[in-house]
Copies of this chain bind each other. A is one copy, B any other.
Amino acid sequence: MVHVLIIGAAGMVGHKLARHITQDGSLNGRALTKLSLVDVVEPPVPANAPQDTICRACDFSLEGEAEQLVASRPDVIFHLAAIVSGEAEVETDKGYRINLDGTRRLFEAIRALGEGYCPRVVFTSSIAVFGAPFPDPIPDDFLPAPLTSYGAQKAMSELLLADFSRKGFLDGIGIRLPTIVVRPGKPNKAASGFFSGIIREPLNGQEAVLPVADDVLHWMASPRAAAGFLIHAAGLDGETVGPRRNMTMPGLAVTVAEEIETLRRFGGEKAVKLIRRERDPLVEKIVAGWPRGFDPARALALGFKADESFDAIVQTYIEEEGITL
């Protein structure tokens, strides 16, 4: 019997996670008896949700909200809520308020309940905690030196998660997600958007702009793999993990050229021809500051599983989104 709370449940990964858990009807072998889904917009009720499911719109970072969210003492809390990278960079105060203070309020609300309440908290961090220059691949004990406010806020939250876990206030696991590819839906303004766009748009018969060179290498995972990481993190034994509660998730180091070859296999030459090369120096500069590849030895040893291949990532996308080729 497990009561699960997902904060950020209307986002792409949060929604996939909720669907996976409700489809299974359980979380790591424990029957799902209660599900609370919250986000700034009301999350949809997933198919097969347990009867005791609450979907609610709220800003978890506002005073008093976190206390309300944890008052019913969920056993597992997935914390996926965040202001994204681009917005946190421009809106400094908003980024710190939500990504750092909101996270801290949540952790403090859990701590305040006390009386032996020590839920598993799975926190989505990001490879944005790293900033150039890097070794290649980046080992697990490499310095987080972010070059964005978003990365700084995630790295600070990681430290708080580890300290509060060490002190027994909560039982946290922080997972640094790779860039999620192929993101379904419309193109977004994220600088990393083209990694998805050059697959998604051509498979839908639409043009996609490629703003960087074909040899650009990036660390990727599918939405399905991301949901899998979250579920696996929820079941880890804290003692086995030890005091270093944050870790980089396994991904695939894929070049743009490899993405295009996969696109060719699934969509043929006509799909590849829909990619328009138009270099964007700003995007190229941002991408140059991102990590390329990792050696996520700890996560692999703890049983986290990356996608098998970029072909498998695209196959998953086609299946999950019901794309007709």
Residue positions of A touching B, CB distance < 8 A: 92, 131, 135, 140-147, 149, 152, 155-156, 159-160, 162-163, 166-167, 243-244
Residue in A147, A160, A163 with the greatest tally of chain B CB atoms within 10 Å: A163
> A160 contacts which chain B residues (CB < 8 A)?
152, 156
> A146 contacts which chain B residues (CB < 8 A)?
159, 162-163
Q: Which B residue sits closest to A152, measured CB to CB?
A: B163
Q: Check A143–B143 contact: CB distance below 8 A.
A: yes
> A143 contacts which chain B residues (CB < 8 A)?
140-144, 244
18 contacts between A and B (CB under 8 A): A92-B167, A131-B243, A140-B143, A141-B145, A142-B142, A142-B143, A143-B144, A143-B244, A144-B159, A145-B244, A146-B159, A146-B162, A152-B160, A152-B163, A156-B156, A156-B159, A156-B160, A159-B159
> How distant is A283 from chain B, measured CB to nearest CB, in Å?
19
> How distant is A112 from chain B, measured CB to nearest CB, in Å?
11
Q: Which B residue sits closest to A246, measured CB to CB?
A: B145
> A163 contacts which chain B residues (CB < 8 A)?
146, 149, 152
Q: Which B residue sits closest to A149, measured CB to CB?
A: B163
Given contacts A92-B167, A243-B131, is CB(A155)–CB(B145) below 8 Å? no
> A166 contacts which chain B residues (CB < 8 A)?
147
> A135 contacts which chain B residues (CB < 8 A)?
141
> How distant is A151 from chain B, measured CB to nearest CB, in Å?
8
> How distant is A206 from chain B, measured CB to nearest CB, in Å?
37
How many Å lie between the Cα of A131 and that of B163 in the bound state? Answer: 12
Q: Which 8 A-B pairs have the closest CB atoms?
A: A152-B163, A141-B143, A156-B156, A152-B159, A145-B244, A156-B159, A155-B159, A149-B163
